[in-house]
Structures are given as structure tokens and as C-alpha cells.
Copies of this chain bind each other. A is one copy, B any other.
Amino acid sequence: MDALFLSNTSLFRGITPEEVTSMLGCLLAEEKCYQKDEVIYRAGDTVPKIGIVITGSVSIEHDDLWGNKSVLDKIGHGQVFAETYACAPGEPLMVSAVAAESTVVLFLNVAKTLQPCSSACGHHGKLIRNLLTISAQKNLTLSRRIFHTSAKSIRGRLLSYLSFQATREGRREFDIPFNRQQLADYLSVDRSALSNELGKMQREGLITVHRNHFCIKSDLE
């Protein structure tokens, strides 16, 4: 296992490669390979282990009541998944994790680390602090999405999203990390209706758009 690589991930940040190596034992680390489209975790499962993507990528998916599949997230190289469920033992997964390509995953039993008196290995503390940071960040990401989708109109959602991006970037001109379809999914609206609304807003002089590049003209009131 590439301890140097692991020590650069958000989960093991601040832990030296040597320490990482010694920790993998406590964490009952085991590596598994998956072919494209192979299911790693299925919605409804309860999972004890966190996954960390070594090579390839993992798609986090949701099947609604009518069987429509939607991709919620794409977990890449060095990133972690299922950490929320590993930290809330017994909670059934709302999503499935599927290999988006040929993928290698390292599973870690952090549940063990969460027990009261297992601080035998001194670096578990750092690991848990990292987990807390990851969890808090994810919280913010989820909260933001809720904010940006709580407006009832498409324009309202766009204004919420775009003004946040502008504030974050610190300027009125910026790129977004989504194409149209992805932005539509993120805001839970129809893609063509979204394009339509963006066109209107441009004609009204509120913004200029080209592909994923945006410029906010006025103060968006």
C-alpha cells in the first residue's frame, strides 16, 4: 500500500507515511478491486467501513421510487466515501456506491477507532480530527445545496447559486464547475428551462454567460 500517497489524502493529512503504515493494521485495512459498474455498496446496506479510492473512481448514485437513477457525486483518487455512515453506525445507506471504471478501494474500519478506549495507537486522534473536518465540510456542501434549491423559481435558485459563487470567488466574473445538465441536476430543475432562464437573464442585462463562464452585471438586487 502506498503510504506516501495516503498521507496526502484528507483523511490521513498530517500523519507521516511511516505512521500511516503502522495505522493500517489497527484499521483492519483491506484492498479490493472492482470492475466498471460493479456495486461496492448497495442502498439499504449498513456499512461499518469507510472507503478510500486508490485508483479509478466511484459513483454515488440514487434510485428513486420509480427507478430513475441519478448520480449524486463522483469520488476520485484519494477521496473518501461512506464516511457518514461509518460514523453513524447502523444507519442504512440512502445511496449506492458503484465503480465508475476499473477501481481499487481501500476499506478502513474506523468504527473501531470511534470506541471510547481504543486510543492505543496515538495517531487515531489525528485521524478522527481529520474525519471531523471532512464531515463538517460535507455539511457545508449539503447546506449550500439546500439553500440554492429552496427558492421556488429557477431564477431564484440561479441567483442564490451565482451570488454565492461570486462571493466565494471574490469577483463578479468566474467559472462554475458544472455544465448545463449538471447545474440543472444540482438545482433540481429542467435543463432546457434552465438554459431558457439564463437567456432571459442575459437579455435583461443581469448577467452574461458563455458555457460555464459567468459574469454578474448588476448587484442582483
Measured CB to CB, the residues of A under 8 A from B are: 14, 62, 64-66, 70, 83-85, 87-88, 91, 94, 114, 116, 119, 125-126, 128-129, 131-133, 135-140, 142-147, 149-152, 156, 159-160, 163, 188, 220-221
Q: How far is the CA of A136 from the CA of B136 in the complex (A)?
A: 8
- Asked if B87 contacts A152 (CB within 8 A), the reply is no
Q: Contacts A65-B160, A125-B125, A188-B150 given; indicate if A137 touches B94 (C-beta within 8 A).
A: no
Q: How far is the CA of A14 from the CA of B117 in the complex (A)?
A: 11
- Asked if B65 contacts A159 (CB within 8 A), the reply is yes
| Minimal beta-carbon separation of A20 from chain B (angstroms) | 16
- Asked if B62 contacts A147 (CB within 8 A), the reply is yes
| Minimal beta-carbon separation of A196 from chain B (angstroms) | 16
Question: Taking CB as reference atom, which chain B residue is nearest A87?
Answer: B136
Number of copies: 2
Question: Taking CB as reference atom, which chain B residue is nearest A221?
Answer: B65
3 closest A-B pairs by CB: A87-B136, A142-B142, A135-B135
Q: How far is the CA of A156 from the CA of B94 in the complex (A)?
A: 16
Question: Taking CB as reference atom, which chain B residue is nearest A190?
Answer: B152
Q: How far is the CA of A140 from the CA of B85 in the complex (A)?
A: 8
- Asked if B143 contacts A114 (CB within 8 A), the reply is no
